[in-house]
Every structure is written in C-alpha cells, then in structure tokens.
Amino acid sequence: MEPRQAPLKELWSHLRETPRRFKESAFRSGPPVTDRARSEFVFNNLFLHIHPVRVHRWSLRWRTTWGLGVAVTAAFLLTLITGVLLMLYYKPYPDVAYQSIKDIHYVVPTGRFIRNIHRWAANLMVVTVFLHMARVFYTGAYRYPREFNWLVGLGLLVLTLGLSFTGYLLPWDQLAYWAITIGANIAQSPRELTDALGITPYFDPGGWMKTLLLGGPEVGDESLIRFYVLHVAVLPLALVVLMGVHFWRIRKDGGLARPEDADALLGPPRDLYPVFTDAPTKTYHLAAIVRGRSPAVNRGPENTIPSMPHLFYAECAVFMLTVFLTVLAAIFWNAPLKEIANPAVPENPAKAPWYFLGVQELVSHSAFMGGAGIPLIVIVGLGLIPFLDRETEGTGRWFGGPGGQRLVLVSAVFGLLSVIAIEAFAIQFGWLRQWFPDIPQLIITFVNPGTLLVVVYAIFSLGIVHRYRSARAGAVALFTCFLCGFVVLTIIGVHFRGPNWGFYWSPADWPKH
Amino acid sequence: MKDDHTTVPSRLAPEPVPRRDFLGLSALGAFVSALFLAFLGIIRLPRVVVSASPSRKFRVKLPESLQPGEPFVPPGRNVVLFRDSEGVYAISLVCTHLGCIVKPSPNGFECPCHGSRFAPDGHVIGGPAPKPLPWLAVSLEGNEVWVDGNVIVQPGTKARG
C-alpha cells in the first residue's frame, strides 16, 4: 500500500485530475482509434447507441438512401429548436396572435430569421418525408421484416402534415383563419353522408369532431388555444415517440434493406482497416449481423464497417447540408404573413399552403370524399402494400421487382394522362350538378372527378397485377400513379386555380378587382 | 381425478375455457374497461359544454335607397338582406360546402374557396356545395329588421311590413 499523501495535498492533486477524471467518467472509453474502441464509442453513448456498431457498406452508398431519412430528422430538429425560440414571443390569443407574429417579424432581434428557418425547415421536412417514402417504396424496403416500420412511417407522414397544418394556423392571418374554418368543416364533412341518409339528428360524428376541434360551434379563442396545444405539445410528442420506434425498428429489422447478393455486388472491401486491431473481450460486432435473415456462415463481416466514423460522418454531412439549405432559404425568402384574419371576407382565391392544394382540388369536387374519404383510402392503400406484396425479388434495388424501371415509366405516363384527362374534362364541361341540377348529393359525393381518378388508378393497378402476376408490380403501378396524381393536382391547385377556384392558364389572367 | 383420459386437459387439447384463462380474461377485461372509462373521463374535459360565441340574432336598419334584388350585407354579419315588392328576406352567406363566406354577384352567389355557385334564391347551380344556402327568419319592427341566424325557414319566406 502506498503511503498516503497529506490530506490537503491529496485534495489538490484530485482537483488537478478532475478534468481528466470527468472526461473518463463521461465517455468511459478511449479515443475511437481501434475497432473495439469504436464499438464502445457507440454503445457506451445513450445518444449514439441507437446506431449499429458496424454498418454494411451497402447502407452507406449515397444512392441507397440519398440520406433522406437523416434529412427529415435534421429538418425536424431545426423546427424543434426554432419552434421553442418562437414560443418565447408568440401569444396564442386571437386578439394578439397576429401582433405577436408582427413583433417577431419586425421587432425581435433575429426574430424574422428564426421564423423563416422554422417555416422553410417545416417545408423541407414535408418534401423530404415524401421523397423518403418514395425511396423506401421504390427500393422495396417495406417488405418483410419491415412491414411494421412502413406503417410507423405512414403515421409519421400524417403527424408531419398535422404539424404543418396546425402550424400555419397560429399567425391568425387570413390564411390561418380560413384554413382553420375549412379544416374544421372537413372534420364535419361526414355530415354530407349523414345528411343524405337523414340520420344527422341521431348520429353526428362530423359535428362532434368539429366541436371538439374548435372548442365551440365557431372558430374563436378556444380554437386557437386548441391548435396551439396540438402544435407545440401533442403532435411533437407523438412524433418524437414514433420517431424513436421508427429508428429502433430499423436496427431490430436488420438494418437497411439490401439485395441478397449485396456482398457479391460490392466486391471485396478496399482501403479499410483490418476488422480487429485489438483483441476484443466480447464479440460485439456479432450483434450487428446475427439479426440478418441469413446467418453469416463462411463469410466474415468484411462488408460491414465501423459506424464510427463512417456512418456518423455521413449523417453529419447530410445534417450540415440540410441546415445549409434551410438557412440559405431563410436568408433570401421571408416566411409569408397575410393580412390579419377577417371573419367576414375570405381571400379570393383562398389557397392553402402548397402541400395541401392537391387535397383542396379534391375537396372542390366533394368535401367528404376529397377531404376525408380519398385521403383515408390512400393511407389505407399505402398501409396494405407490404402485406399484399410478399415477394422477395428486387429488394434493396431501385425499381426492383418485375417490370423494373419500364413499369415505373409506363405507370407514370398512365398516371399523368388520366389525372390530366379527368381534370381537363371536369374543368371544360363541369360535373353532374351542372347537367342535372336536381341530382341527389349522395351520387355526387361518390361519383366525382376525385373518386373517378381513384377507381381508374385501382383498375389499372389490378390489371398490372394480373399481367405481371406480381403484387409488387401492382404496388409499383399504384404508388407511381398516386405520386403523379399528387403532383398534378398540387400543380393545378398552385398555378392554375384563380378567383372563385376558377381555371386560369396563368395568374396574370386573373380578373382585376 | 377422472379416468377418461380424453377429457384430461393437455397443452395440445386444452379445456374450452380453463379456469385460469377465465380469471385472466376477466382481469384483462377489467383492465381494458378501466382504460376505456379513463378515456371517457379524459374526453369530458375537452368536450365543449359552454360555448361562448356571438349572438346570431341581430337588428338592422335597411338603407332607404335599397333597390329590389340589390344585396345588403350588414357590417360584421354573414347574412345578406334583400327587399322587393313581396317583402324582406335574409339568406345566410356561409357556404354549405366548407364554411367560407360567399360573395353576392349579379348571378347569385360565388364562393372564393372551392368554386361553389348559388342562384339568387340560394340553390346550388355549380361546384361542390351539397346544400342550398339557408334562408333565415326575419321579422319587421317599425323600420328595423330582426334577423335570427338560428332559425332556418323555407326558401321564399319573406316578411311584409
């Protein structure tokens, strides 16, 4: 036993060692220079251990994912940070909400910049969520064993759109007021059905939902508080929880989807450190491969590389790019703010933000089917895809499966032509109400350009299933049609609709007031 | 103990509802119903009981110069008033589609949000609106008009002074 130092001297030397001891106690492992230390770097860290210790080289190729999932997460983090900052000044009462946004815009230092970042990060999140979903779909990554994670992803899509919707209501400008009115009436739109059946006085789910959402029969103080609570507490919490499940399932489902022959395709690794530079006490690396569908017999983990640094550096790169693009947009474009809400006069045209204009176009055909029915059919249809497609061909490859790229092209052409044809017909010749003024509403609810489009897409996809004898081919057809329909309806809503939701070739043709 | 081995429960041929399962199911049922009751209790709070919205009954004086068929919208109200030889009548301006405020036009009413169009008497002539614009109860009191936004009347109901 060493002789004890004098108490004060000992205290002094402990104090001097404190920074080093603090670092050791916080990080617990040494610098990540050996594979073992790199493993410990990941699983000794609460924030990193959601990552695998080793990651397959296929997952790290840019064209496997284009980093879209990380971009969504980065955009969400940006909205989270800027959102908390905006909460310091925003006041959720109709009398002062608009003024507080004006204050943020014109008085608060950097307020406008922060609000711009919040707005553009939210927009970027919507875009990247859709692109991420398309990536997962076209690489067949939703298949066994990842069906459940596809459903979690759908939930995240809905929450993202919900956050966007509740978010643009808060400034209490014209856009907010009329969007809240329209949104609440879409919630009430099951009445279109119950009215037609004559059961509204006894069974009124529409009215019940609207009142719950608005906190009263009309848009008022209560409504703004409710949407505020949804926007800053309920929906973000739900989103964070589902995101946790989403990430965790990626690990538990065996990492990112890759083709069975990914190892052969990639060839032997080059420019890599040896697998072990330090004798491991535990074979932690096995945890990264035992969950795969085939045991790693007769082949080592040579196509996996340590997450530290390869995966983390890639994630940081995507994160920085997202921040860069958002900040760039925030410098050059201001987040819109319209006139203060006027309950007597809606804007003409009253347009939602771009990502809801496709739905607004559908709603202009039927409130119930456009606002509730068709979105529900799309969500259920997307959710069913991984349970109907149980094939394995082409998993992990872009446009993998029967038909391949050609089928995507054919479906895109069909999807574009049918949505344009149906819309052009409705714009040129009107619809049932103009021809038969006394037609029952129930018929228009179920037979309108929107539902017709859904039926055309469904028949086309069933035909493709029959022709290719493959559910995957049908899914590719349906998803491609859905994307085309979404894009075309959105473009029509953004560019070709003018006052009174009339058709105009260009906003320059709008009549002057 | 029963001798008949076919009735002896086993893992492969269990009793229809073994006693233990029955207790388990009851416990599960109690748990689920407790959760459901808790949910009902939670919903009681956000459910609207008292709603403070402005009165929809109001009094207005029509301008002397109002011509037959000329719309008059009282400031701050979503109602349009007309006066013709048969009397005074009021039509709601809230679109029956999704609640935007329609604008009186020479041919009737037009909705800026989703393009519904209504005839001068409120019935739908185009667009997605499922129902005609409702006519509201009016009564005359001297040279003032009372409009009750809570009472919907048959189209064509006009008040004579």
Banded pLDDT at A276 (limits 50, 70, 90) = very low
B113:A344 CB<8 A? no
Distance from CA of A21 to the nearest CA of B (A): 49
B69: containing domain: 57-153
Are A437 and B123 an interchain contact pair (Cβ–Cβ within 8 Å)?
yes
Q: Do A501 and B97 touch (CB under 8 A)?
A: no
* Residue B112 maps to a domain: yes
Same domain (yes/no): B19, B75: no
Residues B39 and B62 in one domain: no
Q: How confident is the model at residue A296 (pLDDT cuts 50, 70, 90)?
A: very low
Q: What is the pLDDT of residues A163-212, one digit of tens each?
A: 999 998 899 999 889 888 888 888 888 888 888 888 888 888 888 888 88
Span A27-33, mean pLDDT?
80
Q: What is the per-residue pLDDT for A288?
A: 45
For chain A, percent of residues with pLDDT exceeding 90? 46
Contact A341, A169 (CB under 8 A): no
Same domain, B68 and B33: no
Q: What is the pLDDT of residues A354-371, one digit of tens each?
A: 888 888 889 888 888 888
Q: For tokens 């204050």, name the residue.
A: A103
B71 and B139, same domain (yes or no): yes
Q: Which two tokens stand for residue A63?
A: 């064209």
pLDDT of residue B130: 85
Q: Are A219 and B54 in contact (CB under 8 A)?
A: no
- Tens-digit pLDDT profile for residues A144-155: 889 999 999 999
pLDDT at residue number A2 = 62
pLDDT at A197: 83
State the total domains in chain B: 2
Task: Assess if residue B19 is contained within a domain.
Answer: yes
CA A199 remoteness from chain centre: 37
B80 and B118 together in one domain? yes
> Predicted confidence band at A240 (pLDDT cuts at 50, 70, 90)?
very high
pLDDT digits (tens, 9 = 90+) for B6-16: 566 666 666 66
Residues B100, A181: C-beta atoms closer than 8 Å: yes
How many whole angstroms separate alpha carbon B161 and alpha carbon A478?
63
Asked if residue B161 belongs to a domain, the reply is no
Measured CA to CA, the distance from residue A399 to residue A136 in angstroms comes to 10
Residue A433 near residue B126, CB atoms below 8 Å: yes
Can you give the pLDDT at residue A277?
44
- Per-residue pLDDT, A94: 86
CATH 3.30.930.10 for the A23-347 domain, yes or no: no
The bridge status of strand B87-92 relative to strand B103-105 is unpaired
Asked whether B154 and B136 are in contact (CB, 8 A), the reply is: no
- Nearest-CA distance B110 → chain A (Å): 7
Q: How far apart, in whole angstroms, are the C-alpha atoms of residue B69 and residue B82? A: 6
Of the residues B44, B114, B116, the best mutation for testing chain A's interface (the one with the most A CB atoms within 10 Å of its CB) is: B114
Any B CB within 8 A of A212 CB: yes
Q: Could you give the CA distance from residue B141 to residue B61 in angstroms, rounded to a whole number? A: 10
Residue A429 has pLDDT above 90, yes or no: no
Antiparallel, parallel or unpaired: β B57-61 and B79-84: unpaired
Q: What angle do CA A55, A57, A63 make, to 5 degrees?
A: 115
Q: Give the predicted TM-score (pTM) of the model.
A: 0.87
> What pLDDT shows up at residue B66?
82
What average pLDDT does this structure show over B134-150? 87
Q: Is the pLDDT of residue B102 over 70?
A: yes
Asked if residue B51 belongs to a domain, the reply is no
Q: Are residues B21 and B69 in the same domain?
A: no
Nearest residue of B to residue A175, measured between CA atoms = B113
Q: What single-letter DSSP state applies at residue A496?
A: I
**Is the CB of A360 less than 8 angstroms away from the CB of B99?**
no
CA A182 to each of CA A109, A223, A346, A368, A395: distance values in angstroms, whole numbers, following the listed order: 34, 13, 11, 12, 42
Q: Do A367 and B130 touch (CB under 8 A)?
A: yes
Cα-Cα-Cα-Cα torsion A183, A188, A191, A193, nearest 10 degrees, comes to 50
Of residues B144 and A320, more confidence is placed in: A320
Is A207 an 8 Å CB contact of chain B? no
pLDDT at B21 over 80: no
The answer on B64 and B127 residing in a single domain is: yes
pLDDT category at B106 given cuts 50, 70, 90 is: confident
Question: pLDDT over 70 for what percent of chain A?
Answer: 92
Q: Both tokens of residue A272? A: 């890599």
Over residues A112-125, mean pLDDT: 96
Q: Give the distance from residue A345's alpha carbon to the nearest chain B alpha carbon, in angstroms.
A: 6
> Are residues B82 and B18 both part of a single domain?
no
Determine which helix (DSSP H) or strand (DSSP E) holds A440, and give its type and residue range.
Answer: none
* pLDDT at residue A291 greater than cutoff 70: no
* Chain A residue with the nearest C-alpha to that of B79: A344
Domains of chain A: which residue ranges? 23-347, 351-513
CB atoms within 10 A of CB A306: 26
Q: What pLDDT score was predicted for residue A298? A: 41
- Residue A427's pLDDT is what? 86
Asked if residue B49 is part of any domain, the answer here is no
Residue A256 has pLDDT above 70, yes or no: yes
| Pair B111, B38 in one domain | no
Residues B29 and B94 occupy one common structural domain: no
User: Which residues, numbered 448 to 467 in chain A, qualify as contacts with chain B under a Cβ-Cβ cut-off of 8 Å?
Assistant: 448
Question: Which residues of chain B have a CB within 8 Å of the CB of A211?
Answer: 47-48, 51
CB within 8 Å: A501 and B124: no
Q: Would residue B87 be called left, alpha or beta, if left means φ above 0 and alpha means ψ between -120 and 50 degrees? A: left
**Identity of the amino acid at B45:** L
Confidence tier at A352 by pLDDT (50, 70, 90): confident
What integer pLDDT is reported at residue A119 of this predicted model? 95
Q: CATH code at B67?
A: 2.102.10.10
Residue B50 has pLDDT above 90, yes or no: no
- In terms of domains, do B32 and B70 share one? no
Does B52 fall in a domain?
no
